[in-house]
Amino acid sequence: MAPFNKPHFATLNLNPTVEAQAKADPAGFLDHNRRNLAKAFKKNFGYVPDFLIVAGDEHRRLHQHIIIIMDDNELLRAREAFLAAGGTWSHKRGAGRQLDIQALPTPADVDTVANYLAKNMNQASAQLGDKKLYVSRPARAVAERLYEAERA
């Protein structure tokens, strides 16, 4: 099993049924989607890699932006896990736009994505209130170390 060691940025559009289930979940939209992602990755990989989820809102359609730490050679299985978590689309147009994954090779790329995520979190506030971000504990620890190193 290859180590997950590079940040990748994914945008996952949920099919309408999964989006409705997530909105109706008493635990919240993000928690519902966090559980779906964890279940799909556990099934495809045998474990759950570190990840961060931000809720986005485009044209009143909630979706997810995910930063996940993985090796490039695991992208095909990761794609399968993301698509399983997002639900099957009944038409090609939705299926074709369901998932986009790209590597974040430089700190500048990470900064660009961070600014984009902040904008999306603000747009999602109207539908979700305060719960717009999930960060796994290991990912949070890495972020804190990077932040402290940047401040030093």
Name the fold adopted by 6-151.
Answer: Alpha-Beta Plaits (3.30.70)
Strand partners, 65: 11, 54
- Scanning 102-136, the segments in alpha helix (DSSP H) are 107-128
Cβ atoms 131, 23 nearer than 8 A: no
Scan for tokens 């993985």, then name that residue: 70
Cβ atoms 81, 44 nearer than 8 A: yes
Q: What are phi and psi of 70, to 5 degrees?
A: -155, 165
Q: What are phi and psi of 52, to 5 degrees?
A: -130, 135
pLDDT at position 89, please?
Answer: 79
pLDDT at position 151, please?
Answer: 73
Domain range list for the chain: 6-151
pLDDT at position 1, please?
Answer: 42
| 36-64 per-position pLDDT tens digit | 999 999 998 888 887 877 777 666 677 78
pLDDT at position 40, please?
Answer: 94
| Tens-digit pLDDT string for the chain (152 aa) | 444 477 888 888 888 899 899 889 998 888 888 899 999 999 988 888 878 777 776 666 777 888 888 888 888 889 999 999 988 877 776 566 789 898 887 777 777 887 777 777 766 666 666 566 677 777 777 777 766 777 77
